[in-house]
Every structure is written in structure tokens, then in C-alpha cells.
Amino acid sequence: VDKVQEMFDKLSGPIVMICGQNKIETGSKEREKFTMVLPNFSHLAKLPFPLKGLTEGFTGRKRSEEDEMYKLFTNVIHLQPPKEEDTLKLFKKQLGEDRRIVISRSNINELLKALEEHELLCTDLYQVNTDGVILTKQKAEKVIGWARNHYLASSPEPLVKGGCLSLPRESLEISIERLRKLEDNSLKPSHDLKNIAKDEYERNFVSAVVAPREIGVKFEDIGALEDVKKALHELVILPMRRPELFSRGNLLRPCKGILLFGPPGTGKTLLAKALATEAGANFISITGSTLTSKWFGDAEKLTKALFSFATKLAPVIIFVDEIDSLLGARGGSSEHEATRRMRNEFMAA
């Protein structure tokens, strides 16, 4: 409210004010300020001629007496979307195009801030296609990091201008496409997951899939365990974000699994959830009972289906709670054949 009042004090002449939101919480200090400021602006709303002729035919919504915004203006026109089908299609198309332009400008601004923060350049930044994504500061930094890695890996002689690395538009668009695919995979609804599952065994795990943005736990939400977080970042997150670093030689291959051990209540499950969020991967949590069945042979089929289904949803982090109940020592006299076959299938995945 103070900014609006200051703005009106500086301006002169005819003014067009577009308010995207006019709801202020009842009883708040901002509402009290707004009510006090309104009388000072009332003269701005007075027009030299009536607008009754222009407002005829419009069916406005019923205004609440508490809607202070309307007290600012003596003439109110309610704009309704066109009723003709062809005109309505054109109207919606134009709205969609306007929304795309606004989002694109916001994305370019976020990329520009990230480039300046990391002392990077992109001469064709305003020609970069950012359709299909909405960049936040964190996402923009991720895109810039991917683009830098792609350019350094693909260019034998990187271009440097004024001491700053100059990224080509192509590297940025490749990184944006990578982000778009990751977000598309994380937003697949359950009915799409059911279509992805090829049989009844894979469909058993559809309800266990949680998208990264729905997990709601990050590393910063977990106190202490800094060494564990660092190890998980190096072993899981880094290979996902920089796969080119782990593609040369067997010694650099990322690990296939990590064992978290400790007494109950030490944060093992919470760490696994936070890891999926930080890595931007889907999260599947199962227990020993999920992979067992009363029917002979179903346990190994469920185990195989778990990993085949996860492959289709990659990137995925599979968390097996109380894994000691499944993968105990093999070869004991009391070991059942079905249990042994299930363990073999699990270890071969």
C-alpha cells in the first residue's frame, strides 16, 4: 500500500492501474492502511463524462461491501469473455499466447540473473526457447550448470569474452529440454502410470510412486547428519546431474545401491525421501511384505517387475525398508526355495 501511495504521488496525468489481486486479509494492518489511503485517491477516479452507456449490457458479479478496491473507482466496467464460439477460441488463443510471452520473459530474466551471478555470458540469450517450463532461481541455476557442462564437454576450445565463458544458445536449449523431460516424468498422473505398467505385477507399484515435488522433504529439513548428506550427494545426486563424469571406465561407474543402517528413529527413511527430492527423482518406498506372496513364484516376478517398472519412470530412487528381512544370509538349512529365488532376482537387478 505504501508503494502504491508513493507511486501515485510521483505520477501525473491520466493513469491506468491494473490490479492482479484485490483481496487483503480481513483485520490485517495492510487492510487498515489501504482503507486510510483510499480517500486520498478518490479524486483520481472521477471522470469528466458518465460511463453508463459503455456499461450497458455487462452483467457484473455481485460486489461485496467489504471489497475496498471498488471504493477507489466511481465507474466500474466488468469485462466478460465473448460468447460466440469462434471469437471465444480466438480469445483463448490470444490469452495463451500472452501467457507464453509473459512466462518466456520471466524465464529469460531468471537465466540472465543466473548467468551474471556465475560470471557467464550468452550472446543469444533472448532467442533461447524456454517454452514448456517455468524457471525459478533454483531451476535457472540448474539449467545454467547443465549448459556449462555440456558446452565444456562438447567444445575443444570454449569461447571466452572479457574473462567470462560465453555459452551458446544450443547448450541452453538442450539443458531446458532436459529439465522439461524431468518435469514431465515427475508429473505423470496415476492413470498414466497404470498405462505404463505392462502387467498386474508392475501395477502393484503404481500407488507407491511419489513425484519429487510431492515428497515435501529436503536436506535442509534434516538436522545434523552432514557427513551422510555429503556422501549421498556424491554417490547419488552427482551421477544423476553429471552423468558424463561417470561414463568413462568401470572405476567411475556410480554405485547401484546404498545401505543405510542404524537403530529406529535415526532418519533413514527421511534421508531417502530428501535424497529423492534433491535429485529430482521419483520415489518408490516398499517393505518386505510388498515383494512376498502366498503364490509360489510370484515373489521373484514382483521383484523383477519392481525394477522393470522403475526403469520406465527413471530417474527413480527405490527405498526398501527393513531390507534385512529380505536379504539375509543365503544357503541356510531353513531357507525356502521361493525366498532364495527372490533374493537371486533382487541381487541380479
Report the C-alpha gap between 245 and 225 in whole angstroms.
26
Question: What's the average model confidence in pLDDT over 68-88?
Answer: 76
Share of the chain above pLDDT 90, in %: 16
Report the C-alpha gap between 338 and 298 in whole angstroms.
9
Report the C-alpha gap between 148 and 162 in whole angstroms.
17
pLDDT in tens, 16-29: 776 655 555 555 55
72: amino acid identity, one letter: L
DSSP type of residue 321 = T
Asked if residue 287 has pLDDT above 90, the reply is no
Sign of CA dihedral 103, 106, 112, 114: negative
pLDDT in tens, 175-227: 999 888 877 766 555 557 777 778 888 888 888 888 888 888 888 888 888 89
3-state secondary structure of 120: strand
Q: Report the range of poorest mean pLDDT among 25-39, 133-147, 266-280, 292-306.
A: 25-39
Report the C-alpha gap between 13 and 240 in whole angstroms.
57
Overall pTM > 0.85 = no
Enumerate the CATH 3.40.50.300 domain ranges in the chain, comma separated: 190-348
Supply the CATH classification number for the domain 190-348.
3.40.50.300
Report the C-alpha gap between 185 and 178 in whole angstroms.
11
Asked if residue 173 has pLDDT above 80, the reply is yes
* Whole-Å CA distances, 120 to 135, 166, 235, 258: 18, 6, 28, 36
